[in-house]
Amino acid sequence: MRLVLIGPPGAGKGTQAAILSQTLGVPHISTGDLFREHVTRRTPLGRDAQRYLDTGELVPDHVTGGMVRERLTQPDTRHGFLLDGFPRTVPQARQLAAILDAAECELDAVLEFTAPEEVVVTRLLERGRPDDTEDVIRHRQRVYERQTTPLLDHYSDILLSVQAVGPVDEIAQRALKGLARPI
């Protein structure tokens, strides 16, 4: 199964991605995690990405798209994957479409996790990652609204919205139930 997860920072995409990836048996690919690995390993890509991560801006599309293209050529993605954090812009969705066209496959569904801003901001403040200061968190929410929510229209044909407030397992069950029904 080929899935994309969308949701504001703090909606719990990463947590749900880990559960869904286990249940569905497909690799979880998080662009945020890939960037943080590059930063830790001090690769050239990590050095380019660092200042965007620190401020909550999006890393430029050509950098992100190249990194994802590379990841999707790994053999473990042949039978499916779960993309967490990509695409985040309409141009990135076009990049993904080109990658999938070249591999003659397509997305099965786009899962949107929804939660009110005050809930997600509180969760992120509790998480306390170095880029989780209140200003940066609020900025990432604005970036999400401006740059990522247009994807909801872009993917309206295969979009499945899941309310992401409540116990983690219940949210995962809602997502899995939704996926089991034809979209």
Residues near ligand ADP (CB under 6 A): 9, 31-32, 35, 52-53, 56-59, 64, 85-86, 88, 92, 140
| CB of 27 vs ligand ADP, minimal distance in Å | 16
Cα separation of 165 and 11, whole Å?
8
Closest residue by beta carbon to ligand ADP:
32
Closer Cβ to ligand ADP, 2 or 140, answer by number? 140
| CB of 173 vs ligand ADP, minimal distance in Å | 22
| CB of 141 vs ligand ADP, minimal distance in Å | 9
Cα separation of 88 and 148, whole Å?
5
Closer Cβ to ligand ADP, 28 or 32, answer by number? 32
| C-alpha dist (Å) from residue 53 to 45, 75, 166 | 12, 28, 28
Cα separation of 143 and 52, whole Å?
12
| CB of 180 vs ligand ADP, minimal distance in Å | 26
- Radius of gyration over alpha carbons of the chain, in Å? 16
Which residue, chain included where needed, has tokens 């798209």? Answer: 65
